[in-house]
Homo-oligomer: A and B are copies of this chain.
Amino acid sequence: MSTTQNARIRARGEVTAAIKDEARRQLAAEGAARLSLRAVARELGMVSSALYRYFPSRDALLTALIADAHDSLGEAAEAAQDAVAGEAPLRRWTAVCEAVRGWGLARPHEYALVHGSPVPGYTAPRSTAPAAARAPLVLIGVVRDAHRQGALVSPPLPAGLRAGGGRLAAGLAPDLPPETVVALVAAWAQLCGLVGFELSGQFGQFGQFQQVAEDRAPFFRHAVTGLAAGVGLLRESGRPAGTRALGGAGAQAGSPARRPT
């Protein structure tokens, strides 16, 4: 009895996985806008109506793919952070950022699915939010540790942002200063911008820089070090993250950050 139950469940899981795999293949070939239930079924040797036992609609399949992608990205970020768990926050920060980049480079179409332009006629349901927050939460965790160690500079928020920033922090990381949480959200968006730029080949529009893959990795590392400076992450030495690196450097917080020297 329960054995046939289990067999059924396992079979169902396998078919579901096969459907998603094939859908991902089509995603790469045609793009999310052209994902077609019929084509997936055809390629799998099934008939289109049979798919409806597994996904109630095309949009539901898309939603499942998006959730999977978010989870996979989150896992990659978590694994990267775990691999360097003992090291200094700044080192962990860059490791996680590079994991995000690496994940995107390895699966550009899934990255486009979650961080690219929205699919016309489709809006992701609220339920994908937790999975979507997984990767950024890893970065928040890194910064939280830095905050506990006192290795965090927290420049104040401008007046117009105090209320909103407070609300944001209350919902996302109540134990961190609102200004840090705001900076983190900005840094996450900026990180996605860096990765997205590389994936869509936009660096190609700026001189010879582009093609040379050897330049892009150090460029990215340099840039995310700047991002770390943007959230106030200090280097191990206690000096700001950007000190001998990119740009976030060059700014010393007015009063609260005056402590190194």
A112 sits at the interface (CB 8 A): yes
A interface: dominant SS: helix
Q: Contacts A120-B29, A133-B206, A189-B202 known; A246 to B155 CB distance under 8 Å?
A: yes
Q: Which residues of B contact A153 (CB under 8 A)?
A: 249-251
Q: In the assembled complex, how far is the CB of residue A215 from the closest CB belonging to chain B, in whole angstroms?
A: 3
A99 sits at the interface (CB 8 A): no
Q: In the assembled complex, how far is the CB of residue A53 from the closest CB belonging to chain B, in whole angstroms?
A: 28
Q: Nearest CB to that of A210 among chain B residues? A: B168
A76 sits at the interface (CB 8 A): no
Q: In the assembled complex, how far is the CB of residue A133 from the closest CB belonging to chain B, in whole angstroms?
A: 6
Q: In the assembled complex, how far is the CB of residue A40 from the closest CB belonging to chain B, in whole angstroms?
A: 16
In the complex, are the beta carbons of B155 and A250 less than 8 A apart? yes
Inter-chain CA distance A192–B153, complex, in Å, is: 26
In the complex, are the beta carbons of B247 and A183 less than 8 A apart? yes
A141 sits at the interface (CB 8 A): no
A150 sits at the interface (CB 8 A): no
A77 sits at the interface (CB 8 A): no
User: Interface with B: A12-20, A43-51, A55-63, A156-164, which one?
Assistant: A156-164
Q: Which residues of B contact A194 (CB under 8 A)?
A: 186, 189-190, 193
Interface string of A202-236 (1 = CB under 8 A from B): 11111111001011001101110011011110100
Contact partner, A247, options B117, B200, B229, B243, Cβ 8 Å: B229
Binding site for B on A (CB under 8 A): 29-31, 33-34, 112, 115-121, 128-129, 132-133, 136, 153-158, 160-161, 163-165, 167-168, 170-172, 179, 182-183, 185-187, 189-194, 196-197, 199-209, 212, 214-215, 218-219, 221-223, 226-227, 229-232, 234, 239-254, 257, 260
**A-B CB contact pairs (8 Å), 18 listed:** A31-B121, A34-B120, A115-B200, A116-B116, A117-B117, A129-B204, A156-B244, A161-B222, A165-B219, A168-B209, A168-B215, A170-B207, A191-B193, A226-B248, A232-B250, A239-B254, A243-B253, A243-B254
